[in-house]
Structure 1
Amino acid sequence: MSHAPFVIVGGGLAAAKAAVTLRDEGYEDDLVIVTGEAHRPYERPPLSKDYLRGEADRSAVFTVDEDWFARNAELRTGEPATGLDPAARRLSLADGSTVDYKKLLLATGSNPRPLPIPGSDLQNVHLLRTVEQSDLLASALHESERVAIVGDGWIGMEVAASARQLGREVTVFGLGAEPLERVLGPEMGLVFAKLHTDHGVDLRRRTQVAKILGEDGKATGVETEDGKRVEADIVLIAVGATPNTGLAVEAGINLRAKDLGGGIAVDGTLRTSGPDIWAAGDIASIPSSRYGRPIRVEHWQTALDTGPHAAKAMLGAEEPYDKLPYFFTDQYDLGMEYLGFVAGPDAYDEVVVSGSVESLEFVVFWTKGGRVLAGMAVNTWERMAELESLIRAEEPPGTEALQSFR
């Protein structure tokens, strides 16, 4: 077993960056990467943006060259891991083979949450997670005029923007009062609502889709609970994602409670309760000293940061992970960066804005008891270091100081 390889399970950015970091940090023994996808690990943000619109080719999603994997790892693509035995330090694959490991990193990501309503299995009903799903959606967008999007989170709104930029008619159905309300609250959700309606999106707020209509096996529209019908050539289901924790469940590895975001419970080094098993990316629920609770974030930056952190920990590093959650989006002429964490619309007591919301050039802060929980910069660049200082400050900066933030 001492000569067994380090093994990484996953096909996303966390897996890719962990592999590169292991080699950069001097790991010279065998390295195996197992992914159920047909490609080397890749990143996913372009799938709802420029790649979906045809403005970037497939090479844009790959962050590590194919030659690097050929020189540095045994890459087993198209072979999903189906079982994990921590006692035997053995991974089972869908083809019946097994892989023994010395140390293991789980970076299995998440899957789009299905919507169990009539018609969800019709042709031209799409989910978006993989590059193949983005290809299918792009092809459908090219051939269609009307798009219905069920879900008003990040994927739904980014695809809405891309579809409008391609000249398609777009209707978005969301359960909240405003899009992105669960993450940004109603105040900033309203900003994105106006952005999309100004660009011609039909937003249906507080609306539950009851079924997807179809004819000859193909989707033709959606029907809401109140009986209203909207015609559509394409329906995208974008109602959230579920972390892929199946291997951990089978292995008896501790999970985090759903009210704390779910996922695999890890310590500061991203080590799980399983012996010599770490977790990174979407699935990792990481303790935060700043927020006094574990946090699980399904965003690009988390994969970018946790993959290398876990790799170093696998080599013996003990420094706790202390990155603040970060994410970004680009929709039409709006570019946004967000830093920090807010547990929900009830977790903050004030929203403070510096700059002009009307001209879409501003910074907004979410505060609790005067302390900054998170900040978002809209069309205002290179402010993340200053935002981090405010979030980590021991003394509340005060509302006036935040309002004058320039």
Structure 2
Amino acid sequence: MTLSSVVIVGAGQAGFQVAASLRQGGFAGRISLVGDEPGLPYQRPPLSKAYLLGKIKAENLVFRPAAFFDQQQIELIQDKAVIIDRQNQRVVLESEKALEYDHLVLATGAHNRPLSIPGEHLEGVFGIKTLADADALAPRAKNAKNVVVIGCGFIGLEFAAVAAAQGASVQVIDRGDRLMARAISPQMSELFLKAHESWGVKFHFSQAVDQIMGKDGKAVGVEKVNGDVIPADLVVYGIGVIPNITLATEAGLEIENGIKVDADLLTNDSHISAIGDVACFPCVHNHGEHTRIESVPNAMDQARAVSARLLGKAAPFVATPWFWTDQGNLKLQIVGLSTGYDSTVTLGSMESNQFSVLCFRRDHLVAVESCNRPGDHLAGKKLLSRPPELTQREAKEPDFDLKAWEVAHRS
């Protein structure tokens, strides 16, 4: 069936990429891109680092200038989608405007998991998700003396590095026993721990927060469950995200850790796709199990896959997942999923901050973590996207070079 109208709900990286890829691929029908934030669609990764440091201005965050949307005839709608009327194939907005669609793409993303503790709404307590969050946080981050970060995932540690660089005393609290525990190996955790400690950051592992203490409506400290109190004039939290599934749930779409989709990124309604942080898809890099991946590359890859399908070039989604985080002078790049790995091989030097960890599961390479070794990351992306497979025995050879091995074994 020839499509004449596509509605995209969510104007983040995934939603924008669908619209851009459709036009680039020659789609001539109507494209409506619905976002509930003011202004032009923008990139989020710099918000917790370069933007807070003033290295990037707001106008440099936008994907494309306003003229792009006019030239490409992409209708950019600043409104909130509140109802999916599947029977009549239309989306109703908060303004009561209705958008009819031949195909609907849900790119609704995720929102910060709340702290759900006393004091979380005090002045001086921030999550980082939107440009408005970063704009409110930036001036406080420059002047803060005592900063407490709750959660030591990517976002929390990126901000911890920023706050330390601006001269604040920074302490990080996390329920886990090491930093970025859900994402990286113990060896890479150790490297980043030593780096953050050298910047003056103090960590409290295997501990939880009982409450944020306030005075005159402002945060003044964080009390841990053991009763210890850490002074804080600024509290920033990053304890994970929750997929935005309300719209899909109320429409009767299947939900499983997000909006459940098939290998073509289609929901249980053949007229609706879901992509990005909200989509839970059968991942070939995780034994085909339904998996939800929170990353910009995944959002872009899925957007391109859906666009190709709508343009008549359908193919199952098999892109290799990859991630990155910048913390101080460290750039961590991860390719693959290390879930269930049982052994590792390390390359490079932890002392020089140029270090890679190869993760194996039953002697199959499943992930490559690289700190300040971009060549290993690029080689890992190529190796994990095709055979032949690297074995541990080969990786443990003296003077093994991942880049050279990948080049030598290209088919």
Alignment TM-score, normalising by the size of structure 1: 0.94
Q: Is the 8 A contact 1:110 1:282 kept in 2?
A: yes
- Residue in structure 2 matching 1:368, options 347, 355, 361: 361
Given the alignment of the two structures, is residue 342 of structure 1 paired with residue 338 of structure 2, yes or no? yes
Given the alignment of the two structures, is residue 194 of structure 1 paired with residue 187 of structure 2, yes or no? no
Secondary structure in 2 matching 1:282: helix
Secondary structure in 2 matching 1:362: strand
1:234-291, Cα deviation, whole Å (9 max, x unpaired): 11121100111111111111122xxxxx111212221111231111111112222243
Q: Report the equivalent of 1:405.
A: 401
Q: Report the equivalent of 1:168.
A: 168
- Residue in structure 1 matching 2:294, options 292, 295, 298: 298
Count of paired positions: 397
Separation in structure 1 between the aligned mates of residue 386 and residue 164 of structure 2, nearest angstrom: 41
Q: Report the equivalent of 1:259.
A: none
- Displacement of 1:363 after TM fit? 1.6
Q: Is the 8 A contact 1:43 1:300 kept in 2?
A: no
Q: Which runs of 5+ in 1 are unaligned?
A: 257-261
Separation in structure 1 between the aligned mates of residue 349 and residue 186 of structure 2, nearest angstrom: 17
| Higher mean C-alpha displacement, 213-222 vs 136-145 | 136-145
Q: Is the 8 A contact 2:330 2:371 kept in 1?
A: yes
Separation in structure 1 between the aligned mates of residue 248 and residue 366 of structure 2, nearest angstrom: 31
Secondary structure in 1 matching 2:214: strand
- Displacement of 1:395 after TM fit? 6.3
Separation in structure 2 between the aligned mates of residue 32 and residue 198 of structure 1, nearest angstrom: 49
Distance 1:96 1:215, change over 3 A: same
- Displacement of 1:383 after TM fit? 3.0
- Residue in structure 1 matching 2:381, options 383, 388, 393: 388
Q: Is the 8 A contact 2:254 2:267 kept in 1?
A: yes
- Structure 2 counterpart of 1:75, one-letter code: L
Separation in structure 2 between the aligned mates of residue 66 and residue 146 of structure 1, nearest angstrom: 40
- Displacement of 1:89 after TM fit? 0.8
- Displacement of 1:95 after TM fit? 2.1
Q: Is the 8 A contact 1:46 1:60 kept in 2?
A: no
Q: Is the 8 A contact 2:365 2:391 kept in 1?
A: no
Q: Is the 8 A contact 1:5 1:101 kept in 2?
A: yes
- Residue in structure 1 matching 2:269, options 249, 274, 285: 274
| Higher mean C-alpha displacement, 224-233 vs 266-275 | 266-275
- Structure 1 counterpart of 2:107, one-letter code: A
1:15-45, Cα deviation, whole Å (9 max, x unpaired): 1111111111111121111111112221111
The 5-angstrom pairing of residues 4-403 of structure 1 reads 5-71=5-71, 72-77=73-78, 79-256=79-256, 262-292=257-287, 293-343=289-339, 347-392=340-385, 397-403=390-396
- Structure 2 counterpart of 1:321, one-letter code: F
- Displacement of 1:382 after TM fit? 3.0
- Displacement of 1:4 after TM fit? 6.1
Secondary structure in 2 matching 1:135: helix
Separation in structure 2 between the aligned mates of residue 273 and residue 2 of structure 1, nearest angstrom: 20
Separation in structure 2 between the aligned mates of residue 195 and residue 359 of structure 1, nearest angstrom: 11
Separation in structure 2 between the aligned mates of residue 213 and residue 185 of structure 1, nearest angstrom: 34
1:302-327, Cα deviation, whole Å (9 max, x unpaired): 12221122122222221111111111
Q: Which runs of 5+ in 2 are unaligned?
A: 403-411
- Displacement of 1:376 after TM fit? 1.1
- Displacement of 1:405 after TM fit? 3.1
Separation in structure 1 between the aligned mates of residue 154 and residue 355 of structure 2, nearest angstrom: 20
Separation in structure 1 between the aligned mates of residue 285 and residue 178 of structure 2, nearest angstrom: 28
Separation in structure 1 between the aligned mates of residue 60 and residue 159 of structure 2, nearest angstrom: 18
| Higher mean C-alpha displacement, 363-372 vs 208-217 | 363-372
Q: Is the 8 A contact 2:360 2:392 kept in 1?
A: no
Q: Is the 8 A contact 2:320 2:384 kept in 1?
A: no
Secondary structure in 2 matching 1:196: helix
- Structure 1 counterpart of 2:234, one-letter code: I
Separation in structure 1 between the aligned mates of residue 307 and residue 64 of structure 2, nearest angstrom: 16
| Higher mean C-alpha displacement, 388-397 vs 15-24 | 388-397
